[in-house]
Amino acid sequence: MTENDASETNTASGQELVPVTHFGYQEVPEPEKEARVRQVFSSVAERYDLMNDLMSLGIHRLWKRFAVDLARPRPGQTVLDLAGGTGDLAALLYRRIQPNGHIVVSDINPDMLAVGEKRMADKGMLAGVEFVEANAEALPFPDRSFDLVTLAFGIRNMTHPERALREIHRVLKTGGRVLVLEFSHPRWPGLQSLYDLYSFNILPRLGEMIAKDRESYQYLVESIRRFPDQETFRAMMEDAGLERVDVHNLSGGIVAIHRGFRFD
Give the mean model confidence (pLDDT) for residues 48-75: 88
| Band of residue 44 on the pLDDT scale cut at 50, 70, 90 | low
Number of neighbouring beta carbons within 10 Å of residue 223: 19
Average the pLDDT over 173-200 and give the result.
Answer: 92
Q: What is the pTM of this model?
A: 0.85
Ramachandran category for residue 58: left, alpha or beta (phi over 0 → left; psi -120 to 50 → alpha) = left
| 25/197 Cα distance (integer angstroms) | 17
- 245 compared with 217, residue with greater pLDDT: 245
Q: How far is it, in rounded angstroms, from Cα 64 to Cα 183?
A: 12
Between residues 87 and 55, the one the model is more confident about:
87
CA diameter of the chain: 62
Instruction: Please tell me the least confidently modeled range out of 3-12, 46-55, 56-65, 67-76.
Output: 3-12
Better-predicted residue by pLDDT, 17 or 199: 199
The pLDDT confidence band at residue 15, using thresholds 50, 70 and 90, is: low
Q: Calculate mean pLDDT across residues 27-32.
A: 76
The 10 Å Cβ neighbour count of residue 34 is 17
pLDDT at 55 over 80: no
Residue 133 Cα distances to 38, 138, 179, angstroms: 12, 11, 20
Q: Considering the chain, what is the average pLDDT of its residues?
A: 87
Average pLDDT over residues 166-173: 98
pLDDT higher than threshold 60 for residue 207: yes
Lowest mean pLDDT among 62-66, 139-143, 205-209: 205-209
Three-class HEC string of the chain:
CCCCCCCEECCCCCCCCEEEEEECCEEEEHHHHHHHHHHHHHHHHHHHHHHHHHHHCCHHHHHHHHHHHHHCCCCCCEEEEECCCCCHHHHHHHHHHCCCCEEEEEECCHHHHHHHHHHHHHCCCCCCEEEEECCCCCCCCCCCCEEEEEEECCHHHCCCHHHHHHHHHHHEEEEEEEEEEEECCCCCCCHHHHHHHHHHHCHHHHHHHHCCCHHHHHHHHHHHHHCCCHHHHHHHHHHCCCEEEEEEEEHHHCEEEEEEECCC
Q: Which residue has the higher pLDDT, 188 or 243?
A: 243
pLDDT the model gives residue 46:
72
Whole-number pLDDT of residue 52: 75
Instruction: Choose the most confident range, by mean pLDDT, from 104-113, 116-125, 166-175, 218-227.
Output: 166-175
- Would you state the pLDDT for residue 226? 87
**Average pLDDT value for residue range 161-171:** 98
Banded model confidence at residue 7, pLDDT cuts 50, 70, 90? very low
Model pLDDT, residue 11: 44
